[in-house]
């Protein structure tokens, strides 16, 4: 018994040593928590030798410029992967294809420029959360990301974060292949409008954040897109809304859908200065009055048309009445014109018969002589 205890302790030490040896340099590994952390270690590449038991992998705060599929081979068990704040600029084709159980991917706070169209293809369709907050080098990188999102198998995605990327526009159909998306974060960008079919395919969306952007109003196309996602809660506050008559349709939507707008108290006028911080819900009633003015203009126009028709009808009646009073004189004048025309026609006919008959023509000449 005295010899058995040292052997057991030695075996445990060997196992612990083997477990420690399997952890890459510069990383912290916990087999019990199935977690590996490689945080702020100035790594240049994805570490080699990450344990196969890893489910939660955090490689953050390093200097990794490029990632490819070779960095994640043998990590089929990973469900949560964080690559935030690594200055990543390039993502190669099928980088995450070996992560068959990946559910959450965090690419935030990077400098993405080159994104392969099939960079995020995962064949098991397991990915649920995708975070690109502050991930794009500039707003033009959205074109490459748009292609990657279209080509990748993201129909099972539930949450997508594109906040704080300085986006000016969203390409049409960018979310078309994300039919199960529930949450879409677009806050803190510079988006000025939602164009036609931007939100096509998001019928199951439950939450849309458009706060802290550059919306001055929502045009007809934008309102149609918001109506397309009727189930979604909307975050529309902290935008530089211009309270003019052009904003009336948007105000009407707010009045009929207040329960959908989560931050309706922050949906206020910014321009003009005299209306600043006035709620759009109150601006229509207290200040704008655009609908009332428009109705008055339409009523005045309709009244003008009616009055014109009455005047023209009166003139027509007067004309007919004058004709009726002068009916005898008009009839006499018509008869005189008829007789005059008949006499002229008989004269022309007589001259034609004389000119066409040589004998009559000779008699006429002798008579003149």
- Interatomic CA distance for residues 87 and 111, integer angstroms: 5
Residues 146 and 218 in one domain: no
Whether 31 and 106 share a structural domain: yes
Same structural domain, 187 and 260:
yes
In this prediction, residue 18 has a pLDDT band, given cuts at 50, 70 and 90, of very low
Which has more confidence, 290 or 313?
Answer: 313
Chain centroid to CA 63: 35
Q: Are strands 159-161 and 129-131 parallel, antiparallel or unpaired?
A: parallel
pLDDT at 299 over 80: no
Residue 338 lies in a domain: no
Q: Which of 309, 334, 353 is the last residue of a domain?
A: 309
* Whole-number pLDDT of residue 19: 43
Domain end, chosen from 255, 276, 309, is at: 309
Tell me if 298 is assigned to some domain.
Answer: yes
In-domain check, residue 333: no
Residue 273 sits in the same domain as residue 194: yes
Q: Assess whether 30 and 150 both reside in one domain.
A: yes
Residue 203: inside a domain, yes or no?
yes
Percentage of residues in the chain with pLDDT exceeding 70? 85
Are residue 146 and residue 48 in the same domain, yes or no?
A: yes
Least confident of 76-85, 111-120, 337-346: 337-346
Domain assignment of residue 272, yes or no? yes
- Please check whether residue 125 lies inside any domain of the structure: yes
Q: Are residues 133 and 73 in the same domain?
A: yes
**In the structure encoding, which two tokens stand for residue 319, read together?**
């004309």
Question: Do 151 and 258 share a domain, yes or no?
Answer: no
Q: How far is CA 113 from CA 24, 87, 212, in A?
A: 29, 11, 24
Q: Is the pTM of this model over 0.85?
A: no
End-of-domain residue from the set 309, 342, 359: 309
Instruction: Confirm whether 31 is domain-assigned.
Output: yes
Closest by CA position to 98, among listed 128, 132, 130, 68: 68
pLDDT score recorded for residue 361? 53
Q: Which CATH number do you get for residue 32?
A: 3.80.10.10
Query: Are the CB atoms for 91 and 115 separated by under 8 Å?
Result: yes
Residue ranges of alpha helices (H) inside the chain are: 4-21, 142-151, 220-228, 248-256, 280-283, 290-325, 327-356, 358-368
Domain that residue 90 falls in: 23-157
pLDDT tens per residue, range 168-212: 999 989 999 999 999 999 999 999 999 988 999 999 999 999 999
> Is 149 in the same domain as 32?
yes
Count of domains observed in the chain: 2
pLDDT digits (tens, 9 = 90+) for 340-359: 888 788 777 767 666 666 55
* Residue 9: band (very low, low, confident or very high) from pLDDT cuts 50, 70, 90: very low
Are residues 114 and 192 located together in one domain of the fold?
Answer: no
Structure-block tokens of residue 123:
């064949």
- Could you tell me if residue 44 is inside a domain? yes
The average pLDDT across 42-63 equals 96
Give the DSSP per-residue string, 231-270: T-EEE--S--EE-SGGGHHHHHHHHH-TTTBTTGGG-BEE
- Cis preceding linkage at 272, omega within 30: yes
C-alpha span between 173 and 158 (Å, rounded): 17
Provide CB contacts within 8 A for 212, sequence distance 6+: 187, 188, 189, 238, 239
Angle at the Cα of 135 (from 270 to 143), degrees rounded to 5? 85
The string of pLDDT tens digits covering residues 229-287 is 999 999 999 999 999 888 999 999 999 988 999 999 999 999 999 999 999 988 766 55
DSSP strand pairing (35-39 vs 28-30) = antiparallel
57 has which bridge partners? 36, 81
Same domain, 102 and 199: no
Residue 37 and residue 122 share a domain: yes
């Amino acid at each position: 018994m005295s010899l058995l205890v040292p052997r057991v302790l030695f075996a445990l030490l060997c196992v612990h040593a083997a477990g420690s040896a399997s952890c890459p340099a510069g990383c912290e590994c916990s087999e019990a928590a199935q977690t590996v952390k490689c945080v702020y270690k100035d790594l240049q590449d994805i570490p080699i030798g990450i344990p196969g038991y890893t489910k939660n992998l955090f490689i953050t705060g390093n200097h990794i410029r490029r990632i490819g599929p070779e960095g994640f081979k043998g990590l089929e068990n990973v469900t949560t992967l964080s690559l935030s704040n690594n200055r990543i600029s390039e993502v190669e084709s099928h980088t995450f294809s070996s992560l068959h159980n990946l559910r959450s991917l965090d690419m935030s706070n990077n400098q993405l420029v080159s994104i392969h169209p099939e960079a995020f293809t995962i064949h098991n369709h397991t990915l649920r959360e995708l975070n690109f907050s502050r991930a794009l080098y500039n707003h033009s990188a959205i074109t490459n990301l748009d292609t990657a999102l279209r080509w990748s198998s993201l129909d099972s995605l539930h949450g997508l974060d594109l906040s704080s990327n300085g986006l000016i526009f969203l390409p049409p159909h960018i979310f078309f292949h994300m039919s199960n998306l529930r949450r879409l974060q677009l806050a803190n960008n510079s988006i000025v409008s939602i164009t036609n079919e931007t939100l096509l395919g998001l019928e199951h969306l439950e939450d849309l954040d458009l706060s802290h952007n550059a919306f001055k109003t929502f045009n007809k196309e934008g309102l149609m897109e918001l109506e397309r996602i009727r189930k979604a809660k909307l975050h529309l506050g902290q935008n530089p809304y211009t309270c003019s008559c052009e904003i009336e349709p948007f105000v009407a939507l707010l009045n009929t859908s207040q329960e959908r707008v989560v931050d309706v108290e922050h949906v206020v006028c910014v321009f003009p200065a005299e209306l600043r911080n006035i709620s759009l819900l109150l601006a229509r009633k207290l200040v704008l009055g655009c609908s009332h003015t428009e109705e008055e203009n339409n009523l005045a126009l309709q009244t003008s048309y009616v009055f014109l028709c009455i005047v023209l009808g009166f003139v027509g009646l007067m004309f007919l009445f004058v004709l009726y009073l002068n009916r005898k004189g008009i009839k006499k004048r018509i008869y005189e014109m008829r007789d005059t025309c008949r006499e002229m026609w008989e004269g022309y006919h007589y001259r034609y018969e004389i000119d066409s008959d040589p004998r009559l023509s000779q008699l006429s000449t002798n008579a003149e002589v």
